[in-house]
Amino acid sequence: MNSTTVLPTRGGRRQRRLGARRLLGLALLLVGLILLGLAGGEYLQAANEQRQLDTRWSQIHDTGVTPPLPAGQVPPANDRAQDGIAFAIRVPKFDYRAAIAEGVSLKVLAAGPGHYPSTPWPGQHGNVGVAAHNVYWIKFGDLQPGDEVILETRWGDYHYRVTERQIVQPNDTRPLAQTGPDRTTLTTCWPLWAGSLAQQRLAITAVQTEAPQR
């Protein structure tokens, strides 16, 4: 070995490793901030779209509903939704109200709650299915048996009482089964705080207790 060769010291190697870790940490932090900014922008846009839907629904609903229909009947399919809105949901426990669009596509759910097209509408016999991203229903974890849920329609309001909460897998369709009493089932990603990383679903079932008077 040449006498002029200088071997790296342990301290030097350790400093280089620490420097590399710091750079990696800063890079990960930067990526996280970028993703957070993008998510925040998408959330603000979605929240604005939901506010517009809510405003339109208030104009539709609060100006007066059409006469209630016979039990089990709703308007023809082409006359149910108005301005892209199917109906609305209200939860008195935490003063929540939101318009519900028809469908559960990514585009629909990006703006707020959506109605499962394969399930009945409020007023029809069966199980009315409604879905939303957990970011919109973060408070729904507080819903307990006995709490009231109201579905507002143009032909009257339908009242429900929570009877059951389930944590299920995403491919479990049993909560939306159509057997049993008239009810609504609300589904969202679980845990509620996990955002798009949630791996399960929260299903809240509420049985109908009151329908519009005819």
Query: The domain spanning residue 182 has which CATH number?
Result: 2.40.260.10
In a domain, residue 176? The reply is yes
In a domain, residue 1? The reply is no
In a domain, residue 30? The reply is no
Residue 184 CA: distances (Å) to CA of 10, 89, 207? 66, 11, 6
Note down the domain range covering 197: 54-210
- pTM given for the model: 0.73
Residue among 129, 95, 133, 94 at smallest CA distance from 113: 133
Give φ, ψ of 113 to 5 degrees: -65, 155
Q: How many domains does the chain have?
A: 1
pLDDT tens sequence for the chain (214 residues): 555 555 556 666 667 676 777 777 777 777 767 655 555 555 566 667 667 777 777 777 776 656 666 665 666 555 556 557 889 999 999 999 999 999 999 989 988 999 999 999 998 899 999 999 998 999 999 999 999 999 999 888 999 999 999 999 999 999 999 999 999 999 999 999 888 888 999 999 999 999 886 5
In a domain, residue 84? The reply is yes
Residue among 145, 60, 67, 55 at smallest CA distance from 97: 55
In a domain, residue 158? The reply is yes
In a domain, residue 9? The reply is no
In a domain, residue 12? The reply is no
| 193 Cβ neighbours under 8 A, 6+ residues apart | 134, 138
In a domain, residue 34? The reply is no
Contact 162, 150 (CB under 8 A): no
> End-to-end distance of the chain based on CA atoms, in angstroms?
101
